């Protein structure tokens, strides 16, 4: 490519390595001629941190914030619930982090903003910068899937308006499935690009499963546990001859995992139950999956989250596994369309038993892994799904005048001074009450200005 390589930021909320999708973005942008700078905004909860601080190591920038320190700011959005307060304080912390990046972003050609709050604050502060907003799933509805207080109708409306403004301003918006994209179009008026959570071709591992025509079919689930992932049903309904089928659960440690263990021990079975394994480091997932035959996706999320594209689906396919999936969402549609396995319905437990028996029958006839590897190479990989958008990004960047090299700002790792930290610790809990009372909000604003004076 004759044009100079353009500087592009990929900015995530949370640790950059927490989701492999982040690095997929970086690698793809480098292939279309970009110098990529990765930035992560993390909440370290440091009580001495009243200002965001930045550290730079090579092409990875870390901006550390403390949501507690932003609680003294006057209210902006209407806040009625604890989840709303969490979003508000997180948004303010990210705004402070983005302020540190603004001088450098002015010299960037483009930024990929992962998460709405990151995109919102970059769009608000860098109006002329081309922003790619990776929405993943639907922002507001994602909080309905968590064990938190539901957002109020007013809060939901507010954050949907925020997302609509970002989508309409962004150079491109990305969702993980056609169903999610169509849902977002209903309230934004814009149809996002679709890039599912598939794995790059370069990360494929050779499948090393044993001969399942003579031994048991090995089923596996890898991931975290929560009440809407269908794991209680999976544990309760698993009752198969271990000579025919086995199930291993690699679940991250949590109180809910303990509940699943107790449930499994209480279930009356004719055969052995599932085996709980130690959690797997993300880097080892391809190696672990290579010794299994069938990946299980038991999720029972309601719409629109039922249309999500979980990382494990792409990982199962990349490892050459067949897949059984609950429901009729995006994953189940892909399983049926590409003959990757079969689907079942938790409301009809017999269909789950039939799905396992069907996989065992395919294994006995040597037809279990018929199409998975070909589908991965030709359709379900990151390069194919992201290709159209990456081509568009490449054409756009190559048509732009070259940007100067992005240099780290002179001010790095600036920690808050201890006087302001003490004020934060003393006054912070007071503000937890003050900021909820409109009549004394002016007093909250006064104290906020006082703390800012000390910070300087």
Q: Model confidence over 88-142: pLDDT tens digits?
A: 888 988 998 999 899 889 889 999 999 999 999 999 999 889 999 999 888 888 8
Q: d(Cα 380, Cα 295) in Å, to the nearest integer?
A: 15
pTM of the model: 0.85
147-161 pLDDT per residue, tens: 678 888 999 999 999
Q: Indicate the class that CATH gives domain 6-198+382-398.
A: alpha beta
Q: How far apart are the first and last CA of the chain?
A: 47
Of the pLDDT bands very low, low, confident and very high (cuts 50, 70, 90), residue 76 is low
Provide the pLDDT for residue 409: 52
- Sorted by where each begins, the domain ranges of the chain are 6-198+382-398, 202-378, 418-455
Domains 6-198+382-398 and 202-378 share a fold: yes
Instruction: Dump strand ranges (E) for 122-239.
Output: 130-136, 172-175, 193-194, 217-223
DSSP 379: T
Provide the pLDDT for residue 397: 93
Residue positions counted in the chain: 456
HEC string of 311-344 equals HHHHHHHHCCCEEEEECCCHHHHHHHHCCCEEEE
Task: Check pLDDT > 60 for residue 428.
Answer: no
Provide the pLDDT for residue 211: 54
Contact 360, 217 (CB under 8 A): yes
> Following CA atoms 80, 81, 85, 91 in sequence, which dihedral angle do they give, to the nearest 10 degrees?
-80
Contacts 24+ apart (CB under 8 A), 373-379: 373/207, 373/320, 375/317, 375/338, 375/340, 376/199, 376/201, 376/204, 376/317, 376/318, 376/320, 377/201, 379/338
Q: 């309905």: which residue's tokens?
A: 144
Furthest CA-CA distance within the chain: 76
Mean pLDDT for 418-445 is: 45
Report residue 182: phi and psi, to 5°: -65, -35
Indicate the fold that domain 202-378 takes in CATH: Rossmann fold (3.40.50)
Q: 């808050």: which residue's tokens?
A: 416
323-334 pLDDT per residue, tens: 999 998 999 999
Q: Which residue has the higher pLDDT, 316 or 371?
A: 316
Q: 């970009």: which residue's tokens?
A: 34
Q: In Å, what is the CA distance from 427 to each residue of 44, 253, 328, 423, 434?
A: 20, 35, 51, 6, 10
The helix (run of H) or strand (run of E) holding residue 43 is strand 34-43
Q: d(Cα 66, Cα 194) in Å, to the nearest integer?
A: 33
Instruction: Dump strand ranges (E) for 71-225.
Output: 110-114, 130-136, 172-175, 193-194, 217-223
Provide the pLDDT for residue 412: 42
Q: d(Cα 137, Cα 175) in Å, to the nearest integer?
A: 6
Using CA of residue 331, residue 337, residue 342, residue 345, what is the dihedral sign? positive
Q: d(Cα 118, Cα 111) in Å, to the nearest integer?
A: 10
Provide the pLDDT for residue 53: 81
Task: Give the distance, in angstroms, between the CA of residue 381 and the centroid of all CA atoms in the same chain.
Answer: 18
Percent above pLDDT 90 for the chain:
55
* Of 266, 340, 242, 267, residue with least CA distance to 297: 340
Provide the pLDDT for residue 417: 38
206-260 pLDDT per residue, tens: 555 555 556 899 999 999 888 889 999 999 999 999 999 999 999 988 888 999 9
């Amino acid at each position: 490519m004759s044009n100079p390589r353009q500087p592009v930021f990929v900015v995530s909320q949370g640790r950059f390595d927490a989701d492999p999708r982040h690095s997929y973005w970086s690698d793809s942008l480098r292939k279309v001629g970009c110098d990529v700078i990765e930035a992560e905004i993390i909440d370290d909860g440091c009580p001495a941190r009243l200002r965001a601080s930045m550290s730079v190591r090579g092409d990875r920038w870390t901006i550390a914030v403390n949501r507690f320190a932003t609680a003294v700011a006057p209210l902006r959005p209407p806040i009625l619930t604890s989840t709303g307060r969490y979003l508000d304080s997180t948004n303010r912390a990210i705004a402070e982090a983005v302020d540190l990046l603004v001088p450098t972003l002015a010299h960037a050609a483009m930024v990929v903003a992962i998460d709405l709050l990151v995109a919102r604050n970059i769009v608000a502060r860098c109006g002329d910068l081309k922003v790619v907003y990776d929405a993943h799933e639907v922002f507001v509805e994602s909080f309905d899937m968590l064990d938190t207080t539901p957002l109020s109708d007013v809060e939901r409306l507010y954050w949907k308006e925020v997302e609509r403004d970002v989508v309409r301003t962004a150079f491109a918006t990305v969702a993980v499935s056609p169903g999610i994209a169509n849902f977002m179009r209903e309230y934004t008026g814009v149809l996002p690009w679709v890039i599912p959570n598939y794995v790059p071709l370069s990360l494929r591992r050779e499948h090393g499963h044993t001969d399942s025509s003579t031994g048991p079919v090995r089923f596996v689930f890898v991931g975290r546990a929560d009440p809407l992932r269908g794991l209680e049903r999976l544990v309760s309904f698993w009752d198969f001859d271990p000579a025919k089928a086995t199930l291993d659960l690699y679940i991250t440690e949590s109180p809910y995992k303990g509940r699943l263990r107790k449930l499994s021990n209480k279930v009356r079975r004719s055969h052995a139950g599932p085996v709980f394994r130690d959690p797997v480091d993300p880097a080892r997932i391809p190696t672990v999956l290579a010794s299994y035959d069938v990946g299980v996706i038991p999720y029972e999320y309601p719409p629109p989250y039922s249309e999500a594209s979980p990382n494990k689906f792409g990982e199962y396919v990349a490892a050459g596994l067949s897949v059984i999936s609950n429901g009729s969402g995006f994953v189940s549609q892909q399983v049926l369309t590409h003959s990757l396995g079969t689907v079942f319905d938790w409301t009809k437990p017999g269909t789950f038993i039939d799905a396992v028996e069907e996989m065992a029958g395919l294994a006995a006839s040597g037809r279990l892994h018929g199409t998975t590897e070909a589908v991965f190479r030709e359709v379900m990989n990151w390069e194919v799904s992201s290709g159209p958008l990456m081509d568009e990004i490449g054409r756009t960047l190559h048509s732009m005048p070259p940007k100067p090299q992005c240099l780290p700002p002179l001010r790095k790792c600036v920690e808050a001074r201890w006087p302001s930290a003490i004020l934060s610790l003393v006054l912070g809990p007071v503000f937890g009450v003050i900021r909820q009372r409109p009549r004394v909000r002016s007093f909250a604003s006064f104290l906020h200005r006082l703390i800012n004076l000390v910070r300087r």
